[in-house]
Structure 1
């Protein structure tokens, strides 16, 4: 076997034609597909990074919103405590004033009943005094009889209570 330059030239021409055909019909579309795949992967990576940044931003906003809500809830609770304490104090003050009013009314009623009782006792005492005086005048008794009569009527007055 020897060296044949015609075979070598023919092989080289065939290789160049094959290379040209592969480059035109196989490598070109294959490189286009690879380039499209490369662009698609870059876009997906960029989209993923953007989504991650957006998610981080939303998470930070949600954390801030939660802190704001907690702060507002705490303020509402404090305000409710203050309002309830104030209402409690108002209710206690109203109850105290109502108790004082009722006490004063009761004292006035007691004083009125006391005055009525004193007036009634005075009326009875004066009636008894008049009765005693009239009986004393009627009887004109000695001093010992008079003392017994006064004691007797005093016992009657003491028994009518």
Structure 2
């Protein structure tokens, strides 16, 4: 068994002095370093969150701009397609009218040629009929 004497008081004072010295020499600086590290980590996490937030914002802006460009492209394509269809109809209409005009002119020309040919044949019919009759009757 331990017999307490006056040295226990000296040991207790020595222990308290050692705790105070260790706290001052080791524990406070280590706690300070840990606190600085926590602050640095919090600052870096804030920077990471800000960077992530900025990246998300930029990505959303990019996607919105891309969607707007796609929408504009569809509108331009639709407009150009409609203009092309309209121009095609105009050209087809003009070609149809030109073809109809050409056809009428050709029909009129053919009719005129047929009439002149018929007139020429009618003039010569009497002469041919006379010649045929003379041949049939034996008259030279």
What does residue 11 of structure 1 align with? 11
Deviation at 1:80, TM superposition (A): 2.2
* SS state at 1:98 partner: helix
What does residue 3 of structure 2 align with? 2
* SS state at 1:73 partner: helix
Give the total of aligned pairs: 134
Deviations 1:121-144 (A, max 9, x none): 243146x29x95xxxxxxxxxxxx
Gaps of 5+ in 2: none
The normalised TM-score by structure 2 is: 0.76
Q: State the Cα RMSD in Å.
A: 2.8
Deviation at 1:53, TM superposition (A): 1.9
Which structure is richer in relative contact order (CA contacts within 8 A, separation 6 or more)?
Answer: 1
| Partner Cα distance (1:2, 1:61) in 2 | 81
| Partner Cα distance (1:96, 1:112) in 2 | 24
The normalised TM-score by structure 1 is: 0.67
Superposed counterparts of 1:47-62, under 5 Å: 47-62=47-62
Computing the radius of gyration from Cα coordinates, the structure with the larger value is 1
Deviation at 1:84, TM superposition (A): 2.0
Deviation at 1:79, TM superposition (A): 0.6
Pairing 1:152–2:139 present: no
Pairing 1:72–2:76 present: no
What does residue 138 of structure 1 align with? none
| Partner Cα distance (1:2, 1:122) in 2 | 168
The farther-off stretch of 30-39 and 97-106 is 97-106
* SS state at 1:82 partner: helix
| Partner Cα distance (2:4, 2:13) in 1 | 17
Deviations 1:14-58 (A, max 9, x none): 223322331232112201211111112211221232123223312
Superposed counterparts of 1:11-160, under 5 Å: 11-125=11-125, 128=127, 152=133
